[in-house]
């Protein structure tokens, strides 16, 4: 049997080389995704500002302001801040939270049974909306707004743009725990096989 087929270290070196290429590819895709999503989020935030200003001038809008002072204060605080910073921060938070959820689900075999087997609507209902709520809670805590539910319109667009990528990136970068255990066992079995082969070559007679 050729040396490279039984040497576990050669296989490990090949795996590391392939994983490095995958990691670089994922990083590039993630950067492009963040830039495009942040730009889209910024445009949506500016449209929210215009719509909110027009809405407050209408009769229904004035009634809404009178009946919901806390919600009005939160919406005004969200839209009167630095929208560029908010769009970038929200996009990064959405990607990090979605990748963390995807990593957990990938490692513990949850993605296999509850994510990959579902259509887009099922993924949106089961994963997209809860993740958007988590992003809203995080952004609300970071910017110290008064009501996290009012931040959902800000968080839902970037979350829906990135949550499928978060799960896909996690799938490409992380194995399931069963695969890790199997790979470790195969690695040590390869070491034992290689060691045994070297010992047989060492003690075998020259003729």
Q: Pick from 41, 34, 177, 179: which is nearest to 98 by CA?
A: 34
Q: Which residues have CB under 8 Å from 107's CB, separation 6+?
A: 174, 175, 176, 177
pLDDT in tens, the chain (207 residues): 444 445 666 777 887 899 899 999 999 999 999 999 999 999 999 999 999 999 999 999 999 999 999 889 889 989 998 999 999 999 999 999 999 999 999 999 899 889 998 888 999 999 999 999 999 999 999 998 878 888 999 999 999 999 999 999 999 999 888 877 887 777 667 667 766 655 565 555 554
Angle between helix axes 59-67 and 69-79 (nearest 10 degrees) is 110
Task: Report domain extents, the chain.
Answer: 3-193
Neighbour-count burial of 105, counting CB atoms closer than 10 A to its CB (0-12 exposed, 13-18 middle, 19+ buried): buried
What is this structure's pTM? 0.83
């Amino acid at each position: 049997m050729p040396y490279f087929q039984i040497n576990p270290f050669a296989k490990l070196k090949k795996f590391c080389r392939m994983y490095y290429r995958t990691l670089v590819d994922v990083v590039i895709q993630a950067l492009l995704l963040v830039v495009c999503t942040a730009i889209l989020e910024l445009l949506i935030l500016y449209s929210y500002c215009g719509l909110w200003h027009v809405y407050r001038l209408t009769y229904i809008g004035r009634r809404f302001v009178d009946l919901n002072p806390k919600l009005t204060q939160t919406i005004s605080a969200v839209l009167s801040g630095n929208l560029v910073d908010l769009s970038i921060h929200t996009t990064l938070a959405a990607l990090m939270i979605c990748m963390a959820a995807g990593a957990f689900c990938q490692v513990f075999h949850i993605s296999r049974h509850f994510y990959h087997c579902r259509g887009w609507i099922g993924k949106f209902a089961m994963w997209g909306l809860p993740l958007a709520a988590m992003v809203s809670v995080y952004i609300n805590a970071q910017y110290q707004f008064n009501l996290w539910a009012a931040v959902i319109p800000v968080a839902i667009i970037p979350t829906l743009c990135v949550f499928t990528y978060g799960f896909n990136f996690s799938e490409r970068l992380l194995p399931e725990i069963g695969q890790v255990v199997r790979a470790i066992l195969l690695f040590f079995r390869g070491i034992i096989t290689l060691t045994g082969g070297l010992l047989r070559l060492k003690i075998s007679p020259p003729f």
